[in-house]
Amino acid sequence: MGLNFIHKTAKPHSKALRAEFRHASTDLFAGPGGTIDRTYLSPVLELGLLKPGDCVNVRYVKGRILVYKDLRLAAEIDKPTLELQESLNSCHGILPGQIEETFEVAHTVSVHVGPRRDE
């Protein structure tokens, strides 16, 4: 009697998502919209590790902008721009990069942050 009564007296219900939720779900796992495309000069932490053309990852770790080659810490960007910090925050703290030039006498490298350039 109890379950039968509930089925007879209950109002019909059908689940429906609002259009904005449906549209938001299409790009839920999409990459970031606007990343930067700039080059930064960075002091090298380990000599001989980086060469021009190397693919690196630029990461935001505890207020520092670090450059990693594979899993090794290779350099640190000393004076990052606000644009770089905001881009890293919007991209979950990591962006792709590439070494453009190395300056062995000054112990620095030129790091291009943004989409990788294939030569």
Per-residue pLDDT of 54-67, as tens digits, reads 999 999 998 899 99
Element housing 84 (H / E) = helix 82-90
Q: Is the pLDDT of residue 30 over 60?
A: no
**Strand boundaries in 5-115, DSSP class E:** 38-43, 55-61, 64-69, 72-77, 94-103, 108-113
Residue type, 71: L
Q: Is the pLDDT of residue 35 over 80?
A: no
Q: Give the global pTM.
A: 0.68
CATH architecture of 39-119: 2-Layer Sandwich (3.30)
- Cβ atoms 59, 94 nearer than 8 A: yes
